[in-house]
Amino acid sequence: MDDYEVIEQIGRGAFGAAFLVLHKAEREKVGHITQNPLYVLKKIRLAKQTEKFKRTAHQEMNLIAKLNNPYIVGHKDGWVEKESFVCIVTSYCEGGDMAEIIKKSRGTYFPEKKLCKWMTQLLLAVDYLQSNRVLHRDLKCSNIFLIEHSDNRLGDFGVAKLLNQEDLTSTVVGTPNYMCLELLADIPYGYKSDIWSLGCCMFEIAAHQPAFRAPAAELLRHPHLQPYLAQCQNLSPVFLSVKSEVSSIKGKPKGGPLPNKYGNGNPHGDRTNPSKELTTIHDSKTDDSGNSRIIVECTSSVHSKEARQELTSEPFKLI
Whether 138 is catalytic: yes
Give the Cα separation of 100 and 140 in Å (integer): 12
The residue annotated as part of the active site, out of 97, 138, 186, 287, is 138
Task: Give the count of beta carbons closer than 10 Å to the beta carbon of residue 134.
Answer: 25
Residue 48 annotated as lining a ligand binding site: no
Give the Cα separation of 282 and 172 in Å (integer): 11
Query: Binding-site residues, please?
Result: 42
Query: Binding-site residues for ATP, please?
Result: 42
Q: Which residues are catalytic?
A: 138
